[in-house]
Amino acid sequence: MKRRTIIKGLGLLPIGGTLLSGEPLYAAPAGSAKRNLLKELGIRTFINAAGTYTAMTASLMHEEVVAAIAHSAKEFCMLNEVQDKVGEKIAQMVHAEAAMVTAGAFSALTLGMAGILTGTDKEKIKQIPHRLESSGIKSEVLLQKAHYDGYEQALHNTGVKLIPVETAADVDRAVNEKTAAMHFLNCNAPEGKIMHEEWLQLAKKHNLPATIDIAADVPPVSNLWKYNDMGFSFVALSGGKAIRGPQSAGLLMGKKDIITAARLNNSPNGVTIGRGMKVNKEEMLGMYAALDKYIHQDHDKEWKVWEKRIEIIHNAIKNIDGISTTVFVPPIANHTPTLRVVWDNKKIPISRDEFMERLRRGTPSIEVIGNKEGGFNTTVFMLNPGEEKIVAKRLREEFLNTKTS
Ligand SMILES: *Cc1c(COP(=O)(O)O)cnc(C)c1O
User: What range defines the domain where residue 397 resides?
Assistant: 299-404
What is residue 404's predicted lDDT score, i.e. its pLDDT? 59
Residue 116 lies in a domain: yes
**Contact criterion met (CB below 8 Å) for 18 and 10:** no
213 lines ligand 1 (CB under 6 A): yes
Regarding whether 315 and 238 lie in a shared domain, the answer is no
Cα-to-centroid distance, 235 and ligand 1 (Å)? 12
258/279 same-domain check? yes
Q: Which of 296, 327, 355 is where one domain is finished?
A: 296
Do 169 and 267 sit in the same domain of this protein?
A: yes
Same domain as 339, residue 260: no
Residues 350 and 251 in one domain: no
Last residue of one domain, picked from the residues 277, 296, 315: 296
Most informative mutation of 151, 156, 186, 287 for ligand 1 (most atoms within 8 A of CB): 151
Pocket lining: 187 vs ligand 1, CB cutoff 6 Å = yes
The terminus-to-terminus CA distance of the chain in angstroms comes to 62
Ligand 1 centroid – CA 157 distance (Å): 15
The answer to the question of residue 29 being in a domain is no
Q: What is the full per-residue pLDDT of the chain (405 aa) written as tens digits? A: 444 444 444 444 444 444 444 455 555 555 566 899 999 999 999 999 999 999 999 999 999 999 999 999 999 999 999 999 999 999 999 999 999 999 999 999 999 999 999 999 999 999 999 999 999 999 999 999 999 999 999 999 999 999 999 999 999 999 999 999 999 999 999 999 999 999 999 999 999 999 999 999 999 999 999 999 999 999 999 999 999 999 999 999 999 999 999 999 999 999 999 999 999 999 999 999 999 999 999 999 999 999 999 999 999 999 999 999 999 999 999 999 999 999 999 999 999 999 999 999 999 999 999 999 999 999 999 999 999 999 999 999 999 998 755
| Contact of 282 with 73, CB cutoff 8 Å | yes
250 in the same domain as 131 = yes
- Residue nearest (by alpha carbon) to ligand 1 atom 11: 215
From the alpha carbon of 106, which atom of ligand 1 is closest? 9
> Are 255 and 306 part of one and the same domain?
no
* Ligand 1 site, residue 54, Cβ cutoff 6 A: yes
Nearest protein Cα to ligand 1, atom 14: 215
Kindly report the pTM of this predicted structure: 0.91
Distance 27 CA to ligand 1 centre (A): 39
- Shortest-distance atom of ligand 1 to CA 154: 10
- Domain boundary among the residues 296, 321, 344 is at 296
> Do residues 345 and 206 share a domain?
no
CB of 215 sitting under 6 A from ligand 1 = yes
Q: Which amino acid does the sequence have at 106?
A: F
Q: Is 246 in the pocket of ligand 1 (CB under 6 A)?
A: no
Q: Is residue 2 part of a domain?
A: no
Among the listed residues 284, 215, 242, 306, the one whose alpha carbon sits nearest the alpha carbon of residue 61? 242
The CA 106 to ligand 1 mean position distance, Å, reads 6
Please give the pLDDT value at position 34.
83
Separation between Cα atoms, residue 77 and residue 91, nearest integer Å = 21
Which pLDDT score is estimated for 29? Answer: 58
Q: Is the distance from CB of 253 to CB of 90 less than 8 angstroms? A: yes
My answer on whether 180 and 263 are in the same domain is yes
* Closest atom of ligand 1 to CA, residue 107: 9
pLDDT one-digit tens code per residue, 276-316: 999 999 999 999 999 999 999 999 999 999 999 999 999 99
Ligand 1, closest atom to CA 248? 7
Please report whether residue 199 resides in a domain. yes
Asked if residue 97 is part of any domain, the answer here is yes
Question: Phi and psi for 210 in degrees, rounded to 5?
Answer: -105, 130
Q: Is 247 in the pocket of ligand 1 (CB under 6 A)?
A: no
Is 126 a domain residue?
A: yes
Residue 174 lies in a domain: yes
Q: Give the distance (Å) from ligand 1 centre to CA of residue 165.
A: 22
Q: Structural domain tally of the chain?
A: 2
CATH of the domain at 341: 3.90.1150.180
Distance 401 CA to ligand 1 centre (A): 38
